[in-house]
Homo-oligomer: A and B are copies of this chain.
Amino acid sequence: MPRITCLAGGVGAARFLQGLHNVVPHRDVTVIINTGDDIELHGLHISPDVDIVTYTLAGIVNEETGWGIKNDTFHCLKALGKLGYESWFNLGDIDLATHISRTRYMDEGLKLSEITNIHAKHFGVEEVLIPMTDDPFATHILIDDGLIHFEEYLVKRDARDMVRGVEFKGAKDSKPASGVIEAITSADGVILCPSNPIVSIGTILSVPGIRQALRDTAAKIAAISPIIGGSPVKGPADKIMSGLGLEVSSLSVAKLYADFLDSFIIEQVDMPQADEINKLGIKVVATKTIMRSLEDKVRLAEDTLRSIDLV
Binding site for B on A (CB under 8 A): 42-44, 72-73, 75-80, 82-85, 92-94, 96-98, 100-101, 103-104, 107, 119, 122
Contact = CB atoms under 8 A, between A and B. Distances in A.
Determine the main DSSP class of A at the interface with B: helix
Name the residue among A42, A73, A92, A93 with the largest chain B CB count within 10 angstroms: A93
B83 A101 contact: yes
B80 A101 contact: yes
Contact of A103 (B43, B72, B78, B119): B43
Can you list the 6 inter-chain pairs with the closest CB atoms, starting with the nearest? A79-B97, A75-B93, A93-B93, A80-B97, A79-B94, A76-B93
Given A43-B104, A107-B43, A96 B83 contact: no
B97 A76 contact: yes
Contacts of A101: 80, 83, 85
21 contacts: A42-B100, A43-B103, A43-B107, A44-B100, A73-B73, A73-B75, A75-B93, A75-B94, A76-B96, A78-B94, A79-B96, A79-B98, A80-B97, A80-B100, A83-B97, A83-B98, A83-B119, A83-B122, A85-B100, A85-B104, A93-B93
A217 to B, nearest CB: 35
A43 B73 contact: no
A73 B77 CA distance: 13
A93 to B, nearest CB: 4
Contact of A96 (B72, B92, B96, B122): B96
A73 B98 contact: no
A104 to B, nearest CB: 5
A80 B78 CA distance: 19
Contacts of A42: 100, 104
Contacts of A97: 76-77, 79-80, 82-83, 85
Nearest to A101: B83
Contacts of A72: 75
Nearest to A96: B76
Nearest to A103: B43
Contacts of A84: 122
Given A73-B73, A85-B100, 5 more contacts: A42-B100, A43-B107, A75-B75, A83-B101, A96-B96
